[in-house]
């Protein structure tokens, strides 16, 4: 690909002949898919000869990989763009690019809300990024073309080192829930070929990755030729060296027997599912166009719990969607109590332009949304705490990730149920090992444990759920 970086170079301080690589600082907002996309961007930029800066102040180019899911996410990015504008007054050669979902969603407003941007590029344009940056050196450049085929399957992302890697299995979404911008900003559903995924995961395994998380907006809608998501899970489970497999986020309507069978049959598939429910009110679920009612969701939860012993469930919940009455909100609280989620991400509904619900407007005031959210969070915190406390005394296999954030002599890792566990470091315990941990105490968000003697330093592929102490 012919990339014209002359303009960028001329406008920076370096001379062309001995020009050091242009330094890019990449900042990521939003979900796991965006983090994975930034790793892809890292690979694309590296291959095109750019180097990475550790902070915006040291960069020739700052790229923000953005999120559009709620208004708040976009506001944060606009604030950051204003900060970067101030930085550019001190470093006039700096080029600023806005990538990802917000670029796609807010492309028209950005022309006046952030006129100083040099580049605005959506999630399907990354293959062209070096070329776009070359153009942006001369003229503000916008590319927001969506592409029904683009999966970047041939590009191996710059994965972070660590025990866990997030691997994109499918992109886009065809569900068009009434509140959600994703189908508009990430485009239609498309899956990565199984052979490409296998190649990627085998390479990760060879580099020491122990856990793979398959990613997609509706990851269990994965299908490629006659391979469905259950088939894919079984295939990935055969990769040597990968001890644990997870996926996020599945949609309840795509939770087929094939996926549940794979979860039940494959020991490497971990007993945790993030299964967004959004609301417990049938009226609201229908208005959202979620494709299930609360009874169907509860039946699914029962099937899953019967098939996968020790299964932990987390979810996404929203309060204050268009038309949500107090009784609808109470139905959400009821569903949350009935299921007993281990944890949840909880949000106030945020009206998004382009979505089906946009023209319906907001019917629940900000204060009322805040009250509902507070009550929901309080309830979920109690449930999370109770569920975590119920693990005290049990032993879990914890895949060690590294040092705990607080406390130098402590390590952290995840249980099979994806709960964070913290414990004292000891000789022989290393990141990537699996240790059997007896849980001694718990908060709503963390388990504190002690390596169970006799099981110390185990590095096997055991993925057992809670089991009695040996
Ligand atoms: N307002 C609030 N929350 C939203 N989500 C998606 N769209 C919106 C919106 N317009 C939430 C949903 C989804 C999660 C990723 O973000 O709960 O599952
Ligand atoms: Fe958005 Fe619904 Fe698709 Fe999830 S399934 S990404 S909420 S449209």
Q: Which two tokens stand for residue 144?
A: 């927001």
Asked whether residue 338 carries a pLDDT value surpassing 60, the answer given is: yes
Q: Other C-beta atoms within 10 Å of 161: how many? A: 9
What's the 276 CA to ligand 2 centre distance in angstroms?
Answer: 9
290 CB less than 6 Å from ligand 2? no
Q: Answer yes or no: is pLDDT of 107 > 90.
A: no
Q: Please work out whether the CB of residue 177 comes within 6 Å of at least one atom of ligand 2.
A: yes
Distance from the alpha carbon of residue 173 to the mean position of ligand 2, in angstroms: 6
pLDDT tens digits for 48-92?
A: 999 999 999 999 999 999 999 999 999 999 999 999 999 999 999
The string of DSSP codes covering 10-67 is: HHSSS-STTPPPPEEEEEE-SSHHHHHHHHHHHHHHHHTT-EE-SSGGG-SEEEEEE-
Q: Is 183 in the pocket of ligand 2 (CB under 6 A)?
A: yes
CA of 225 to the centre of ligand 1 (A): 30
- Ligand 2 pocket, residue 185 CB under 6 Å: no
pLDDT in tens, 376-395: 999 999 999 999 999 999 99
For residue 1, pLDDT over 90 is answered with: no
Ligand 2, atom 5: nearest CA belongs to which residue? Answer: 175
Indicate if ligand 2 lies below 6 Å from the C-beta of 345: no
d(CA 9, CA 2): 15
CB 213 within 8 A of CB 247: yes
* pLDDT over 60 (residue 196): yes
Query: Is the predicted pLDDT of residue 111 greater than 50, yes or no?
Result: yes
pLDDT digits (tens, 9 = 90+) for 123-174: 999 999 999 999 999 999 999 999 999 999 999 999 998 999 999 999 999 9
Rg for the chain, CA atoms, rounded: 23
pLDDT attached to residue 112? 84
Cis peptide, bond prior to residue 233, ω within 30 of zero:
no
Quote the pLDDT of residue 366: 98
Looking at residue 20, its pLDDT comes to 74
Q: How far is CA 74 from CA 248, 301, 329, 406, in A?
A: 23, 34, 27, 31
Mean pLDDT to the nearest integer, 23-28: 98
Ligand 2 atom closest to the CA of 290, numbered from 1: 2
Q: Which of 105, 174, 180, 321 to mutate to test the pocket of ligand 2 (most atoms within 8 A of CB)?
A: 180
For residue 314, the CA-to-ligand 1 centroid distance in Å is 15
Closest ligand to the CA of 32? 1
Residue 454 pLDDT grade (very low, low, confident, very high; cuts 50, 70, 90): low
pLDDT band at residue 109 under the 50/70/90 scheme = confident
Cα 66 to ligand 2 centre (Å): 17
Predicted pLDDT of residue 104: 94
The average pLDDT across 438-449 equals 97
Mean per-residue pLDDT over the chain, rounded: 92
Q: Output the CA 376–ligand 1 centroid distance in Å.
A: 15
Higher pLDDT, 147 or 111: 147
Cα(151)–Cα(189) distance, integer angstroms: 10
Per-residue pLDDT reduced to its tens digit, 320-332: 999 999 999 999 9
Atom of ligand 1 nearest to the CA of 278: 17
DSSP per-residue string spanning 382-447: HHHHHHHHTTTT-EEEEEEEEE-SS-TTEEEEE-TT--EEEEE--TT--TT-EEEEEEEEE-SSEE
**What is the pLDDT, as a whole number, of residue 16?**
45
Q: Tell me what the mean pLDDT of segment 419-425 comes to.
A: 96
Mean pLDDT of 260-276: 98
pLDDT value, residue 465: 43
200-232 tens-digit pLDDT: 999 999 999 999 999 999 999 999 999 999 999
**Token digits for 264?**
């039940």
- Give the pLDDT mean for 389-415: 92
Ligand 1 centroid–CA 257 distance in Å is: 27
Q: Is 176 a pocket residue for ligand 2 (Cβ < 6 Å)?
A: yes
Distances in Å between the Cα of 303 and the Cα atoms of 145, 150, 281, 364 are 41, 35, 21, 35
Distance CA 443, CA 239 (A): 35
State the Cα–Cα distance between residues 82 and 229, nearest whole angstrom: 43
Q: Does the beta carbon of 169 lie inside 6 Å of ligand 2?
A: no
pLDDT for position 153:
96
Instruction: Note the pLDDT of residue 76.
Output: 96
Per-residue pLDDT, 49: 96
Mind listing the pLDDT tens digit for each residue in 280-302? 999 999 999 999 999 999 999 99
Burial class (CB in 10 A: 0-12, 13-18, 19+), 11: middle
| Whole-number pLDDT of residue 12 | 43
């Amino acid at each position: 690909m012919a990339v014209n970086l002359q303009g960028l170079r001329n406008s920076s301080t370096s001379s062309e002949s001995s020009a050091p690589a242009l330094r890019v600082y990449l900042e990521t907002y939003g979900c796991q898919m965006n983090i994975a996309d930034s790793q892809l961007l890292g690979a694309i930029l590296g291959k095109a000869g750019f180097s990475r800066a550790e902070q915006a102040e040291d960069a020739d180019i700052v790229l923000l990989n953005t999120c559009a899911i709620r208004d708040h996410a976009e506001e944060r990015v606009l604030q950051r763009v204003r900060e970067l504008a101030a930085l550019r007054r001190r470093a006039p050669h700096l080029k600023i690019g806005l990538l990802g979902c917000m670029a796609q969603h807010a492309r028209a407003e950005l022309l006046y809300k952030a006129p100083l941007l040099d580049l605005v590029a959506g999630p399907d344009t990354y293959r062209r990024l070096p070329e776009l940056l070359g153009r942006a050196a001369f003229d503000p450049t916008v590319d927001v073309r969506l592409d029904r085929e683009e999966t970047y399957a041939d590009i191996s992302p710059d994965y972070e080192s660590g025990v866990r890697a997030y691997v994109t299995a499918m992109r886009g979404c065809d569900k068009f829930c009434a509140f959600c911008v994703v189908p508009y900003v990430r485009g239609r559903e498309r899956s990565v070929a199984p052979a490409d995924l296998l190649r990627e995961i085998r390479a990760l395994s060879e580099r020491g990755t122990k856990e793979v998380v398959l990613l997609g907006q509706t990851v269990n809608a994965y299908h490629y030729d006659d391979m469905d998501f259950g088939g894919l899970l079984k295939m990935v489970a055969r990769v040597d060296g990968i001890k644990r497999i997870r996926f996020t986020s599945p949609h309840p309507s795509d939770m087929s027997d094939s996926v549940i069978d794979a979860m039940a049959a494959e020991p490497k598939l971990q007993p945790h599912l993030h299964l967004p429910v959004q609301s417990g009110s049938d009226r609201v679920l229908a208005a959202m166009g979620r494709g299930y009612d609360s009874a169907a969701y509860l039946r699914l939860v029962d099937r899953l719990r019967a098939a996968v012993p020790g299964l932990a469930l987390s979810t996404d919940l929203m309060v204050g969607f268009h038309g949500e009455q107090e009784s609808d909100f109470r139905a959400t609280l009821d569903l949350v109590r009935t299921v007993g989620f281990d944890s949840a991400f909880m949000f106030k509904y945020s009206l998004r332009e382009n979505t089906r619900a946009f023209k319906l407007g907001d019917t629940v005031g900000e204060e009322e949304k805040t009250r509902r959210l507070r009550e929901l969070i309080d309830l979920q915190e109690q449930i999370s705490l109770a569920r975590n406390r119920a693990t005290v005394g049990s032993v879990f296999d914890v895949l060690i990730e590294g040092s705990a954030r607080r406390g130098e002599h402590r390590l952290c890792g995840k249980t099979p149920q994806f709960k964070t566990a913290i414990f004292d470091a000891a000789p022989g315990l290393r990141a990537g090992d699996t240790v059997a941990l007896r849980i001694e105490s718990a908060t709503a968000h963390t388990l504190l444990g002690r390596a169970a003697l006799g099981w110390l330093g185990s590095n096997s592929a055991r993925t057992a759920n809670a089991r009695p102490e040996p």
